[in-house]
C-alpha cells in the first residue's frame, strides 16, 4: 500500500505507474481516493473546530455559573450537547470514509522501481545473467516422475486416493534426498548469518491482507472453515507477520531470518503438460529467507538474497539464470522482483525454482512495522526470497545429476546429509 500523502501530491505518477502495470481499470481509483481524502480532511477539520469550541464553551459555562447566570449557562450547555451529537456523527463519518479510502488504497499497485522492464506479462521478462554451463547429455532423460519411480521414490496413485490430485508420496531415497536438500539449505543460510526460524503454519486474515494482494490471496490461500485462520502459502507470510504492530530500534536492523515450513496453495487454473507430477502441487516444503531493513539498504539486500539462491544451486552443480520480472508480472505489492530459474536438460530450457522480491514499505505500512530513529519513526522495508523449494527443486537436481546408467550422483556438499552416500542406484 502506497503512502496516501504521496498519492495526494503525485497523482499523475500513481496513474502512470498503474498504466505501466497494464491495470488501466484501476485508474478511476486515484480520483476516487483524492475526493474521499478531501472529504475526510474536511470532516476532520470540522471535528477539530467543534472540539476547540467545546473547550471555549466549557470555560464560558463556568464563568456564567459563577456570575449566577444559570439560564444563560443552560443555553450554552444545550449548544455543547448539540455540538457533541454533531461530533459523534463526524467521527462515524470519518471512520466510514477512512475505510473507503483504505479499500481503494489496498488495490492500487505499489510504485515499481525505475529499473523494472515494462511489459504486459511474463513473456516480457528479461534474462539478466547465467551461472554455470547448461549441458544436454547424449542419453535420454526421462520425465522426473519416471526417474523417481526407478528408485521406488514416488506414489501419485495412492496420494490421489488419499488427498486427490496435486499431492504425492515421496518414498525411500527420494524422500531422503528431499529432506537432505531442505536441511542443507537451512545450514547454508545459517552459515550466511541468517537466524533460523520455524514459524506458525497458519495465520490470521489481518496478516494475510498485510503481506499479499487480494488477487494473490484468492488464487493461493486455503481458508480454515469456521476460524479466522489461513494455511500459509509460504513461510514469508508468517515471518513478516512476526513483526506486526511493532516499533523497532533502528540499531537492531536488519532482521535476517531463514525458515522452514510446509506450504499450501490452491494453484488455480489450467497448467501445461510440463507441470504434471510434482511441479505444480497443493502441498510442498520450502526453505525461505526474509529481511526487514532500513529503506536505503533494501536494494543491497535484494541483490544479496537472489545471489544466495544462485550460490546454493551452483553448489549442487545445477546451472541457473536470473530473470528480471517485467511490470505486468509483478504482484501489486512488489517494487522489484526476479526469478531464479534452473536448467532442465530434458526440456532444454530453464524453469522457475525461486523468486526474490523487494516490497519496499508496502507490507510494513499494511502491518504497522515501524522503525524508531531518535524521535522519528518510519516504515521498514521488507524483502523475501526462496532458498529452495523441493520437490520442484528435485526435478532440477535429478535431471542435472542423472548418469547414463540411471544412477544419480550426489554432490559432495549434500553427502553428509545423505549418510555419506555418493550415488543413488535405481532399483528398477
Asked which of 79, 105, 131 is the last residue of a domain, the reply is 105
Note whether 275 and 309 are same-domain residues. yes
- The closest alpha carbon to 347, from 277, 424, 265, 428, belongs to 277
What number is the average pLDDT over the span 293-307? 97
Are both 146 and 288 inside the same structural domain?
A: yes
Contact (CB, 8 A) for 143 and 277: yes
Residue 371 has pLDDT above 80, yes or no: yes
Q: What is the structure's pLDDT at 121?
A: 94
Q: Are residues 135 and 230 part of one domain?
A: yes
Same-domain pairing of 353 and 222: yes
Residue 165: the pLDDT is: 87
Q: What is the mean pLDDT of the chain?
A: 92
Q: Is residue 54 part of a domain?
A: yes
Give the residue from 53, 73, 105 where a domain finishes: 105
Across 59-80, average pLDDT: 72
Contact of 383 with 338, CB cutoff 8 Å: no
Residue 46 in this model has a pLDDT that exceeds 90: no
- The whole domain housing 56 covers 4-105
User: Same structural domain for residues 382 and 236?
Assistant: yes
Q: CA 323 to CA 225: how far, in whole Å?
A: 38
Residue 135 to residue 133: CA distance in whole angstroms: 6
Per-residue pLDDT, 253:
97
| Residue 116 belongs to some domain of the structure | no
Least confident of 9-13, 49-53, 139-143: 49-53
| Residue % of the chain over a pLDDT of 90 | 81
Determine, yes or no, domain membership for 314.
yes
Q: Is residue 253 part of a domain?
A: yes
Looking at residue 267, what is its pLDDT? 75
Same domain, 59 and 163: no
Res 274 pLDDT > 70: no
pLDDT of residue 269: 54
Same domain, 284 and 312: yes
Written as nine digits, the cell of 156 is 501419485
Question: Which tens digits make up the pLDDT trace of 70-85?
Answer: 777 677 677 777 888 8
Is residue 75 included in any domain, yes or no?
yes
The pLDDT, as a whole number, for residue 365 is 95
Confidence of residue 192 (pLDDT cuts 50, 70, 90): very high
Instruction: List Cβ neighbours of 59 (8 Å cut-off, separation of 6 or more).
Output: none
Dihedral pair phi/psi, residue 103, rounded to 5°: -60, -40
Quick: pLDDT tens for 140-169.
999 999 999 999 999 999 999 999 888 999
- Parallel, antiparallel, or unpaired: how do β-strands 369-373 and 246-249 relate? parallel
State yes or no: cis peptide before 391, omega within 30 of 0: yes
The whole-number pLDDT of residue 57 equals 74
114 within a domain of the structure (yes/no): no
Q: Residue 34 is part of a domain; what is its CATH number?
A: 1.10.287.40
Q: What is the mean pLDDT of residues 233-255?
A: 96
Same structural domain for residues 77 and 171?
no
The answer to whether residues 92 and 142 belong to one domain is no
Q: For the chain, what is the domain count?
A: 2
Please calculate the CA angle 412-415-421 and round it to the nearest 5 degrees: 115
Same domain, 144 and 52: no
Pair 411, 177: CB distance under 8 Å? no
Of residues 5 and 218, more confidence is placed in 5
Give percent above pLDDT 70 in the chain.
96
pTM of the predicted structure, to 2 decimals: 0.89
Residue 387 reports pLDDT greater than 70: yes
Distances 284 to 20, 81, 84, 170, 289 between C-alpha atoms, Å: 33, 61, 57, 11, 16
Please give the pLDDT value at position 216.
79
- Domain stop point among 105, 137, 152: 105
> What's the CATH number where 163 sits?
3.30.930.10
Instruction: Indicate whether 113 belongs to any domain.
Output: no
pLDDT band at 271 (very low <50, low <70, confident <90, very high): low
Does residue 201 share a domain with residue 127?
Answer: yes
Question: How much is the pLDDT for 84?
Answer: 82
For residues 319 and 372, membership in a common domain is answered with yes
Residue 115: inside a domain, yes or no?
A: no
Burial class (CB within 10 angstroms; exposed 0-12, middle 13-18, buried 19+) of 192: middle
Task: Tell me the three-class secondary structure of the chain, residue by residue.
Answer: CCCHHHHHHCHHHHHHHHHHCCCHHHHHHHHHHHHHHHHHHHHHHHHHHHHHHHHHHHHHHHHHHHCCCHHHHHHHHHHHHHHHHHHHHHHHHHHHHHHHHHHHHCCCCCCCCCCCCCCCCHHHCEEEEEECCCCCCCCCCCCHHHHHHHCCCEEHHHHHHHCCCCCCEECHHHHHHHHHHHHHHHHHHHHCCCEEECCCCEECHHHHHHHCCHHHHHHHCEECCCCCCEECCCHHHHHHHCCCCEEEEHHHCCEEEEEEEEEECCCCCCCCHHHCCCCCCCEEEEEEEEEEECHHHHHHHHHHHHHHHHHHHHHCCCCEEEEECCHHHCCCCCCEEEEEEEEECCCCEEEEEEEEEECCCHHHHHHCEEEEECCEEEECEEEEEEEECCCHHHHHHHHHHECCCCCEECCHHHHHHHCCCCEECCCC
Amino acid at each position: 500500500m502506497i503512502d496516501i500523502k504521496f498519492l495526494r501530491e503525485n497523482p499523475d505518477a500513481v496513474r502512470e505507474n498503474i498504466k505501466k502495470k497494464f491495470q488501466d481499470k484501476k485508474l478511476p481509483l486515484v480520483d476516487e481516493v483524492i475526493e474521499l481524502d478531501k472529504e475526510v480532511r474536511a470532516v476532520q477539520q470540522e471535528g477539530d473546530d467543534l472540539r476547540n469550541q467545546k473547550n471555549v464553551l466549557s470555560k464560558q459555562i463556568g464563568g456564567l455559573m459563577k456570575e449566577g447566570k444559570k439560564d444563560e449557562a443552560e443555553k450554552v450547555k444545550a449548544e455543547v450537547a448539540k455540538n457533541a451529537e454533531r461530533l459523534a456523527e463526524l467521527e462515524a463519518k470519518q471512520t466510514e470514509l477512512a475505510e473507503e479510502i483504505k479499500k481503494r488504497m489496498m488495490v492500487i499497485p505499489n510504485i515499481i522501481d525505475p529499473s523494472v522492464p515494462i511489459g504486459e506479462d511474463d513473456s516480457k521478462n528479461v534474462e539478466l545473467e547465467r551461472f554455470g554451463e547448461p549441458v544436454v547429455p547424449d542419453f535420454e532423460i526421462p520425465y522426473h516422475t519416471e526417474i523417481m519411480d526407478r528408485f521406488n521414490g514416488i506414489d501419485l496413485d495412492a496420494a490421489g486416493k488419499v488427498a486427490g490430485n496435486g499431492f504425492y508420496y515421496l518414498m525411500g531415497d527420494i524422500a531422503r534426498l528431499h529432506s537432505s536438500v531442505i536441511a542443507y539449505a537451512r545450514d547454508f543460510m545459517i552459515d550466511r548469518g541468517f537466524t533460523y526460524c520455524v514459524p506458525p503454519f497458519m495465520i490470521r486474515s489481518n496478516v494475510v491482507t498485510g503481506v499479499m494482494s487480494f488477487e494473490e490471496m484468492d488464487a493461493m490461500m486455503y481458508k480454515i472453515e469456521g476460524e479466522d485462520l489461513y494455511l500459509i502459502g509460504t513461510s514469508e507470510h508468517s515471518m513478516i507477520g512476526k513483526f506486526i504492530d511493532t516499533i523497532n530500534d533502528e540499531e537492531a536492523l536488519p532482521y535476517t531470518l531463514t525458515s522452514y515450513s510446509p506450504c499450501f496453495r490452491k494453484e488455480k487454473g489450467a497448467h501445461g503438460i510440463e507441470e504434471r507430477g510434482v511441479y505444480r502441487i497443493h502441498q510442498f516444503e520450502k526453505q525461505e529467507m526474509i529481511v526487514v531493513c532500513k529503506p536505503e539498504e533494501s536494494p543491497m539486500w535484494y541483490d544479496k538474497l537472489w545471489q544466495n539462491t544462485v550460490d546454493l544451486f551452483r553448489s549442487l552443480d545445477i546451472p541457473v539464470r536470473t530473470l528480471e520480472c517485467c511490470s505486468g508480472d509483478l504482484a501489486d505489492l512488489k517494487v522489484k522482483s526476479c526469478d531464479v530459474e534452473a536448467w532442465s536438460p530434458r526440456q532444454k530450457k530453464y524453469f522457475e525454482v525461486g523468486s526474490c522480491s523487494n516490497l519496499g514499505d508496502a507490507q510494513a505500512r499494511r502491518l504497522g512495522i515501524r522503525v524508531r530513529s531518535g524521535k522519528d519513526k518510519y516504515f521498514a522495508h521488507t524483502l523475501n526470497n526462496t532458498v529452495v523449494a523441493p520437490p520442484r527443486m528435485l526435478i532440477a537436481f535429478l535431471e542435472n545429476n542423472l548418469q547414463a546408467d540411471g544412477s544419480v550422483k550426489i554432490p559432495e556438499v549434500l553427502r553428509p546429509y545423505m549418510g555419506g552416500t555418493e550415488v543413488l542406484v535405481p532399483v528398477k
